[in-house]
Structure 1
Amino acid sequence: MNWLQLGNLQGISTSPSFTVPLQVDGALTKISWKYSSPPGTKIIVQTRLSFSNGADWTEWRICTNGGAIPDLSSADKIDHPQMMYRVIISSPDYAAVPAFEEITFTFEPVIIIDNTGDLDCKPEIWITKEGNGDFSIVNLSSRAEEFKFSDLIDQETIYIDNEQEDIETSLAATYRYSNFNDNYLNLPAGSNLLKLSGKAKVQFRYQFKYL
């Protein structure tokens, strides 16, 4: 115990463990918090994780406000891990009291397709839109290239053959080339991390190519 703790100028508040209700191939994560901190005061937030239902825990890791959650890579599979956080508050005197207001954890699921072939793969995709609006896929592993359709209709199904650059829709007498950004989805050899935006049911079909 240091002199700040002895003088009641430092406090630590630890959360109970809780389950992250997510089972996905991977996810983009973010931790952020709101606080007020008078000059000279300090607030530190740390997290730790358990992938064994609480039997073992990672070390406490210092977090960055607005940064990713430590010990969770975007390519790591997430299957309901346990999580804890703690807040360490310190002040140089009793008159300056920082206030920790709230904390938010964000998990944005991604799809991981591991192209084990030697050449690029251009999959077939079926997209059934839920609600009117846009839909896009960004390959975060390939220069963040975006594959995007605008102004799709609720329950409309779009079929895209990225190899042949062919687009079909379930709507009669309708063509969707003008709603497409003309950037067909390409999966280079190796791991491809795909971020999907827009509510829809999506199905992929692909075959890897070898030399």
Structure 2
Amino acid sequence: MISLVRYLAADVLRGQRYLAPLLVFLGVMGMLFGGDAGEPLEAYSGSSALLYPVAAWMAVVVATSEDVVRREITVVTAGGWSRVLTAAALVSVLFAVAMALLAAVWPVVTNPHPYTAGQFFVGLGAHTGCALLGVGVGLMFARPVFDSTGRTVLAVFSVVVLTYPLGRVTPLGWVLDALGHNEVSLSLLWAGVAGAVLVAAAVLVGVRRA
């Protein structure tokens, strides 16, 4: 499994399609924290909201990095769709967690308001939860659920756009509500759990559809 994860990660990096979501993420982060972003937890709400769609986009990039023929070869070589989808999920999560860590550290360095260690770890947990939710959404509609990249992008975009107006009905809403009110809540933990469950569910759905 480690070798498969390394192969998929190297393939994503070699293809350079990850640059588009990464540059969007870095650009918007620069705008969010270019000045006084407000109180620590409130400042994290904007970057958490950003990380959700970017992580979904990155997961789609990982899941579709190989063309159909190469993916079939990888599936046969690796021993089945379950191993390939699990590896793709792990690679997507690694990218997402790296961005979550960067998002949590960024305002600590640039924001004039001081951050305590507790606030930093709350922010890291919130970002990780949002990132996992994004990964789950991205993988849920990627190959082999949808073979067409266009259909995958349309489905993921639709789900992401519809998530925000639902507010506290969704785990993302739990996070944004708590951070927006500068509160530490168990909902942040539950959002992370929901994100992990969604990623696992996406892998299972993909295996059943393969």
TM-score (normalised: structure 2): 0.24
Larger relative strand fraction: 1
Structure number with higher relative contact order (C-alpha < 8 Å, ≥ 6 residues apart): 2
Pair member with larger Rg: 1
TM-score (normalised: structure 1): 0.23
